[in-house]
Structure formats: structure tokens, C-alpha cells
Structure 1
């Protein structure tokens, strides 16, 4: 049922948001010259997939977890995208393809060994990663790997249709701060 809802909402979201995606893409061209950001992430069963987002940092920024990046790397437009969470819209494509869910643990990077190990220990990789989840609405990010893994595990164990919609609504209404930078 969740996969059907993910597919339906992702398709609907991409169709409805298409004009906004085009506008953000064009503004991003002027901001960084390269408005789309792709990065290999850890997916379900630790299978790699390419995550798609709008670029919020300068093109030459090293590929690392957001909490390790310098705030000076974020462009002014990128700051707006992060604050409004519009940088996440292209991930609807990942959801449509079945690589992600709307709700699930945020996908980490393969070089985040401590996080990968903590998540592996509690079975987090048995589900698709998500655009939002319990950790995100509670402002728990990848800088606290053990707490993040524990919270992700709790979310997975208590996932119901009610919680699925609740977490989506909490995210859309602005709960949580998005990815932090130092």
C-alpha cells in the first residue's frame, strides 16, 4: 500500500510541481551554472542509488555529509532552497523509480561508516530510504549517528498509514529544519 501511495504522490507531485521545478532549475542555472546535484547514496539493502536534488552549495564543494560542510559553501539561492525544502523536490523522481519512499530514513553516504554500521545493526536498510521521516521532523541529523539509527528504527517499527501521512504533513507544514551545516 505504501509503495502505491509513494508512486501516486510522486507522479502527482512531479506533474503539479513541474512549472516550479522548471523555474527553480532556471534560477539555479544563474546561481551555480549547474542546478541539479546528484550523489551516490546508500539505499535499501545497502544497494547504491543516485539521489537527485537541486544544488544548494557551490559546484566545487567536496562530497560530504551536510553537517560537515561549511556554511560558506551554501549559495544565497541554495539557502532559500534548503529553508523552504524545495531542494528535495527532484527526489520525487527517486520515489517514482522505487529507490526511495516519501517517508523513511534519510539516505546516508557510503563514507559515513559509523552511521552505516549503526543503521545496519538495527535493520534500517530493510526499507527504502525516504525524503522525510521521524528524525527529520525532530531535527535529528547525521551528526548523531547512533541517535539517528535508533530513531529511524523506531519509525520503521511503528510505521502505519496514519504515521506515514502524519510525517508528510509535519514536513510540509515546516516541522524540522532540514540538513544542517557547520
Structure 2
């Protein structure tokens, strides 16, 4: 059978110093599915200081289309912790999405357009030091004043990342 190269949309590249996993092909499929394959890339997945609310102005959009987009983005977080927080933010509005929410989700696609080759590297290491970082937005949800907290712990070069929202938890073991 040989070395694993592809599993459930995740590309596995085994190298001498470790493993690199990416969802580059899947990201390109998602861009094409939502007609964003010709979009101009942006440098960040969300505008700095941007806050969304359930009471955003704008017309309602098709919830099925919005849920499909958010679901596709959620699957990309398997190898893309850089979008985990913002995908969690747009996930809050699946019940009644507006054009403002849809625009925020499409911005994530524009970010992905410029970063399709991003992924995770797992390097073999003899470093067993534990280092941790955490952050919170301190009641950042405009609707219910709940906080989103995230942390990452490294043991050597391998990380455990977690983003916790008020009612949802998303953990990626790296």
C-alpha cells in the first residue's frame, strides 16, 4: 500500500523531517463551488475590529446556501487553525443569515484563495518543553455578551489548539 498520501480530502506529504498535511485540493473545490475561484485574495480572514450581530442590517440570504458554505469552511479547519476563530464567528448566524453575515463568510473564502497551500507541519523533535498561550475576547459576542477563549500548548514543536465559544467547543489536536 505504501505511505499514506490522501485521506478524506486531506493531502499527506511525508518528508524526511516530518509530515505536512494540507487540504489544498479541497480548498480549491470549495472556492469553485461558491464561485470564488477568481476572487481577489485578502490578507486576513476577517476585518480587524469587525463585530457581527444577529441583528445585522441587510436582506436575509438562503440559509441552506449559508449552511453549506459554513460547513465547508468548518471542514477546512482540520488543517487550517488560522481560520478556526472566524469560522466559529460566522457559524453563530446559521439560523437567520443576512447579506452581512454572507459577506463575512465570503471574505474567509477570499483569504483562503491566497493561502490554499497552507497546512500543518509535524516535525520529529527531542524537545519536550511545554509552552502555552491563551487569549479571550472578554464578552465579545454583541448578542449575549459571551466570551470566546482560545489556547494553544506546545510540547516541543507539536501543538494542541482549542477555541471555546460560549456553547460550542472546537478542539484540534496537533
Q: TM-score range by the shorter chain?
A: under 0.3
Calculate the TM-score normalised by the size of structure 2: 0.26
When you count helix as a share of all residues, which structure comes out higher? 1
| Structure in which a larger fraction of residues adopt strand | 2
Largest Rg, 1 or 2: 2
